[in-house]
Amino acid sequence: MQEVSTLKMATTIVVRDPRYLEHDQGPGHPESPDRLRAIYERLDQEDVKGLFKTIVPRPARREELLWNHTGDYIDKIAGTAGRDFYRLDPDTATSASSWKAACLAVGGVFAAMDVIAGPDVQNGFALVRPPGHHAEKDRAMGFCIFNNVALGAHYAKQVLDCERVLIVDWDLHHGNGTQHSFYNDSSVLYLSTHQYPYYPGSGGVDQIGKDDGKGFTVNVPLSPGAGDEDFAAIFNRLLVPIGKSFSPDFIIVSAGFDIYLDDPLGGMKVTANGFAYMARVLLDLAESCCKGRILFCLEGGYNHTGLKDGVLAVLKECKAMSVLGSDAVSRLDNSGPGPQVLEHVMDIQKDYWPLT
């Protein structure tokens, strides 16, 4: 594991905008504006204020949304603009400003990627909503409207001339929409850790891609109770060797904080140290493969303490200001074999990747 002191003190960007708070799915909905409000307020406190450069998003254009979504579906979402409430699925609804917020969520990812692809910035965090990884090409699902991260991967290929994009998804829930976007595509590698069986029901170990994309989907379905050491083992034993072999030109992370130990929707046991460590592994991988180019993108997370502490832990890692002490690093570097399912996943994936 690379020592944090050797990481470059590059500028770290955050995408934030008050218009993301205008997407409101109604009283009591877990994916509320208060999620982002809590994060933004933490980043405005004196101890961290000014550490991260703010990037203002632009709205994604219709022709860009068409990279991953059907025209009819885009038009359906556009038609909700100005309407106080419209239900898209049992879990997902829009308000008058949701169309605007959803376009800005995608465009925020694009704006961040433009800056990271330039000479002065290596990494950043798109603190956007609505989240995206459940969104399918033609329908909303699981609080998600447009698939921000999948569209980011398309942007990397279409605009930034990237040949290979790695998407890592550590959200509690499997990113069905992201998986389906690239299931037969060898230019995008999708690796997901998720609670299983659980919503949305996809993400079994046998879902590995098809045709040209066979082996480019890697699912690690976990039982409730997995914590920092389990995720450390998965990242070190599976993600790192696969990532180095794939050698991406850009890394995008679906960063869900619902694996936090006190999240009301989940059963995982990850702490702020765990989020920092996963970020460190990914930052090291980006440094070795793609000039440090990595964007974290907010997905789930419904405990406000977990959101604030987790996001800040990731951002501090990006700035080489780690919250991790040497004892924690040593423990996680030497976390052992990890959860039992990891052996099963590695046994399947060794046909496609150099795993020991």
Residue 296 has pLDDT above 50, yes or no: yes
Residue 5 has pLDDT above 60, yes or no: no
The whole domain housing 32 covers 10-349
pLDDT tens, 15-53?
999 999 999 999 999 999 999 999 999 999 999 999 999
- Asked whether residue 356 is domain-assigned, the answer is no
Mean pLDDT of 179-197: 98
Binned at pLDDT 50, 70 and 90, residue 8 comes out as very low
Mean pLDDT of 137-166: 98
Residue 107 has pLDDT above 70, yes or no: yes
Q: Is 173 a catalytic residue?
A: no
Mean pLDDT of 240-254: 98
- Asked whether residue 247 is domain-assigned, the answer is yes
Q: What is the percentage of the chain residues whose pLDDT exceeds 70?
A: 97
Mean pLDDT of 285-292: 98
- Asked whether residue 303 is domain-assigned, the answer is yes
Binned at pLDDT 50, 70 and 90, residue 356 comes out as confident
- Asked whether residue 355 is domain-assigned, the answer is no
- Asked whether residue 88 is domain-assigned, the answer is yes
- Asked whether residue 221 is domain-assigned, the answer is yes
State the Cα–Cα distance between residues 155 and 319, nearest whole angstrom: 25
pLDDT tens, 299-316?
999 999 999 999 999 999
Q: What is the percentage of the chain residues whose pLDDT exceeds 90?
A: 97
Q: How far is CA 90 from CA 72, 135, 194, 251, in A?
A: 20, 14, 21, 32
Residue 10 has pLDDT above 90, yes or no: no
pLDDT tens, 11-25?
999 999 999 999 999
- Asked whether residue 4 is domain-assigned, the answer is no
Q: Which of 32, 145, 142 is nearest to 99 (CA)?
A: 145
Binned at pLDDT 50, 70 and 90, residue 9 comes out as low
Q: Which of 23, 69, 134, 174 is catalytic?
A: 134
Residue 145 has pLDDT above 50, yes or no: yes
- Asked whether residue 114 is domain-assigned, the answer is yes
- Total domains in the chain come to 1
CATH of residue 277's domain is 3.40.800.20
